[in-house]
Amino acid sequence: MKLHLKIWRQKDASTKGQMVDYTLDGVESDMSFLEMLDILNEELISKGEEPIEFDHDCREGICGTCSLQINGRPHGPDTMITVCQLHMRSFNDGDEIVIEPWRAKAFPVIKDLIVDRSAFDRIQQAGGYISVNTSGRPVDANTIPIKKHIADTAMDAATCIGCGACVAACKNASAMLFTSAKVSQFALLPQGQVEAPERVQNMVRQMDLEGFGNCTNTGACEIECPKGISLENIARMNREYLSATVKG
């Protein structure tokens, strides 16, 4: 199939970017979206042009690295997948495809389609950990009885891959879904109780400092999350935060 691509090109963080038109022929429906970009880049390199920079790593939907806004949606038109899991069979011959980087003040563009998501790292560092005694005889986590539905809910939250689709999808560029998933995965478990009040306060404080927007409960993040992280996590974080702050 032949595609008309509109892709954000930006030389570096300090240079203003723009949308650039490309036409790519010979795209097969069984190619992944990233393979399509690989082919475009090979063409650009063979013509002596600068290839398009984009983030990718595992190419199996678990690393959260690929981060493209495709035709106005994070990770493209399909749900519960990352860009590397998106295939060209989701498009038709002659389609125009608009490809942009995540847009958020807290995610500045480094080059072309690559954004700096270290804001997420700093939120995680602010409280996304637990205190565990390490020694030659570590206590097995499985020795603590945990109800199955609680363990499952914690695991659901822990499946967040930190890709940033929630921020990209939110009209307010809010990072509440990411932060709430990281808060929830510990808040639900006994091992996470030691630092629970400080954790939620510190992570929310860092989230606000990074310049993410406020959540207005549109629910866009939940729909676009490739791992199906639920809005229930945001409600849980709100409860945790209010409880921790009121208790002081």
Partner 1 sequence: MSGLIKSSIARKVVMALSGLFLVTFLVLHVTINLASVISPEFFNEASHFMGYNPLVQYLMQPILIAGVIVHFVMGFVLELQNRAARDINYSKFKGSANSSWVSRNMIYSGLVILAFLGLHFYDFWIHEMTYKYIEMNPEDPTRYYAETVEKFAPFWRTVIYVVSFVLLSLHLWHGFASSFQSMGVNNKYTPTIKTFTKIFAVVVPLAFAFIALYHHLNPITH
Q: Which two structure tokens, joined as six digits, stand for 247?
A: 């208790």
Q: Does 21 bind partner 1 (CB under 8 A)?
A: no
Q: Does 103 bind partner 1 (CB under 8 A)?
A: yes
Q: Which of 4, 58, 72, 194 touches partner 1 by CB under 8 A?
A: 72
What DSSP state is assigned to residue 113? T
Q: Decide: 206 and 106 in contact? Cβ < 8 Å.
A: no
Query: What would you report as the CA-atom Rg of the chain, rounded to the nearest whole angstrom?
Result: 20
Q: Does 9 bind partner 1 (CB under 8 A)?
A: no
Q: Does 98 bind partner 1 (CB under 8 A)?
A: yes
Q: Which of 105, 118, 125, 150 touches partner 1 by CB under 8 A?
A: 105
Q: Does 224 bind partner 1 (CB under 8 A)?
A: yes
Binding window for partner 1 (CB under 8 A); candidates: 28-36, 41-49, 71-79, 131-139: 71-79
Q: Does 90 bind partner 1 (CB under 8 A)?
A: no
Q: Decide: 112 and 8 in contact? Cβ < 8 Å.
A: yes
DSSP characters over 204-236: HHHHHHTT--------HHHHH-TT---THHHHH
Residue of 200, 186, 122 whose CA lies nearest to 157 = 186
Q: Decide: 13 and 118 in contact? Cβ < 8 Å.
A: no
Touching partner 1, residues 116-175 (CB under 8 A): 169, 171-174
Q: Decide: 207 and 150 in contact? Cβ < 8 Å.
A: no
Q: Does 212 bind partner 1 (CB under 8 A)?
A: yes
Residues that bind partner 1 (CB under 8 A): 6, 19, 69, 71-73, 77, 98, 100, 103-106, 169, 171-174, 176, 201, 204-205, 207-208, 211-220, 223-224, 231-232, 234-239, 241-242, 245-246, 248
